[in-house]
Amino acid sequence: MSSLELDDFTDLIERPDGGVRRDAEARRERLVVPPGSLGRLDELGEWLAAAQGAVPVRPVERPRVVLFAGDHGIAERGVSARPAGGTEQLVRAVLEGAGPVAVLARRLQVPVRVVDMAVDCPPDAFPEEVVRHRVRRGSGRIDVEDALTAEEAEAAFRAGVAVADEEADSGTDLVVLGDVSVGGTTAAAVLIAALCGTDASVVTGRGGLPIDDLAWMRKCAAIRDALRRARPVLGDQLLLLATVGGADLAAMTGFLLQCAVRKLPVILDGVVAAACALVAQRVAFRAPDWWLAGHDSGEPGQAKALDRMALEPLLDQGVKVGEGLGALLALPLVRAAAALAAELPERPEGGDGKEPDAEGA
């Protein structure tokens, strides 16, 4: 019997401070730049102020990329353009600074943390700080068996909570959340289809390394088979993650919920992060108020999940590589919103907030 009570998160998670957000909105009305002229940057600045509980908003000074890694047995069914068990190479590229997210993070001076939850390789393949939360080697093939045992799902979820606490305690002020996996988008699509009550074809995408039509049909069939196993356990979110999720997805779900508890804002990456966020929303309905959707990955499952949570992507650059890259691209936008909200001067007393015309300039 599990000692983990997911219902506790409903009581522990508060919304970002509404009073502070109203103060931020009032301050925005007083700035020299007319209201509405900065578009969505205004909304971002006000959201961040509420999340921080501070007006004017503080700059984002200690962001961090956190990537949860794992292999998925469903990749054996030919649903990915990458070989089953290929996550080790992807993780190694990130750790060695050669992966796309590592390159961009280096340029933006943002540290990257990789958490191996279920990569299909020996545990000594990576440094201790990467593998110390690992639950197992690979996750089960979800069309015919459970991804995890109940005990493994709880351990993975608790690991995600622990990582969130570690980040909050270390002073991280914003997280860019992504995954490194092979087969992860298939598991994510199953979770989204199950929670949204849709058919497999509605959520089946082409993945980070796009697949051809035959592989897409295999993926759709695999998702449909896994959905039959998911529907009977929809009422228990931890059991759902054990049945058709994976250790990395269970950890990401726990991580997202605990970040909301600790009032640590998160930028979500692609469909895997969106699927975990959707599960977390079912646990605690206020949790999505602490998250931003970094970008539109083009995966139909991501669009479905974000729509259900009323989250609108910040960017649409067609980035499909995963690994947190699309969400990291959105970080400069969030930082820009914070800078403008904090540093633009207020207009003089008695000013009407209108910009001068050509004659009065």
The residues annotated as belonging to the active site are 323
Coil, helix or strand for 291? strand
Query: Which letter does DSSP use for residue 176 in this model?
Result: E
The one-character DSSP state at 168 is H
Q: What single DSSP character describes residue 182?
A: E
170 is written with which tokens? Answer: 């270390």
CA atoms within 13 A on the CB side of 249: 38
Q: How far apart are the first and last CA of the chain?
A: 72
What length does the chain have?
Answer: 361
Instruction: Copy the structure tokens of residue 215.
Output: 């592989």
Residue 245 neighbours by CB under 8 Å, 6+ apart: 139, 142, 147, 148, 153, 187, 191, 253, 279
142 vs 301: CA distance, rounded Å: 17
Nearest to 32 by CA among 340, 346, 357: 346
| Structure tokens, 230 | 């998911």
With residues binned 3-state (H G I as helix, E B as strand, rest as coil), the percentages for the chain, rounded to 5, are 50, 10, 40
Handedness of CA 128, 131, 135, 136 (dihedral sign): negative
